Amino acid sequence: MTTKLSSAPLAVKSLLMCMLLMSSLCGCEREKRQYRTDPPVAAALDEVAPMPNGIAGAPPDAYVAAGEPYKSNAYDLSQGKQLYSEFNCSGCHAEGGGASGPAFLNGWWRYGPQAVSVFVSIRDGRPRGMPAFKSRLTTEQIWQLAGYVQTIGAYSAKTSAPGRNDAMQSRPSENRSPAKSSYASDQWPYSAAQ
């Protein structure tokens, strides 16, 4: 059965082929994975300027200049998720539900939700039991972990997600659980501050 296409002029056929080829090539590049950060950039990523009380503050210039990676790159979030289980975070924080450490799922952050606060918490530790991981993880790894931790307690659903769970699924997936307010009705009705 001959179609209109087969009887179209050669120019039209070539143009359609080109468009098809180009649209198929666009499907290849999903997102960039950066396996190796330049050492000076990696060193610069450590230069956060937290406020004197250790809560919030200015992120490193390099971090801002790079477009705030580690929060929206699926590869980095996956690496963060792997680090989370490898470095025993779930022993104190469970899968975001908390144990001796606070939960991340409910969007209540003792030191604020900013990426800088989470980074400083992991790198330097906190007084009420959070150990310091400065000598245990590289700066990029700490940023990957911080990005993942923020995803667990994200206030709104994200477009990028870490890989699916290899382990027991115990809670809604990271990209489906916007944090609930800690004053929601099914939590105990008293102040979160002690």
Listed ranges 11-19, 52-60, 97-105, 116-124: which one lies at the site for another protein (CB under 8 A) = 97-105
Assess 155 for contact with another protein (CB under 8 A).
Answer: no
CA neighbor of 45 nearest in space, from 137, 131, 155: 137
What does DSSP say about strands 57-58 and 49-50: parallel, antiparallel, or unpaired? antiparallel
Q: What is the DSSP letter of 50?
A: E
Assess 173 for contact with another protein (CB under 8 A).
Answer: no
Assess 95 for contact with another protein (CB under 8 A).
Answer: yes
Q: What is the DSSP letter of 166?
A: S
The helix/strand/coil state of 10 is helix
Assess 138 for contact with another protein (CB under 8 A).
Answer: yes
Assess 33 for contact with another protein (CB under 8 A).
Answer: yes
Listed ranges 8-16, 20-28, 64-72, 122-130: which one lies at the site for another protein (CB under 8 A) = 122-130
The helix/strand/coil state of 57 is strand
Residue 116 near residue 50 (C-beta atoms within 8 A): yes
Instruction: Please state the closest distance from residue 136 (CB atom) to another protein, in A.
Output: 4
The helix/strand/coil state of 49 is strand
| Contacts to another protein by CB under 8 A | 33, 35-37, 39, 42-43, 82, 85-88, 90-92, 94-106, 108, 110, 127-131, 135-138, 140-141, 166-168, 170-172, 177, 180, 182, 187-190, 192, 194
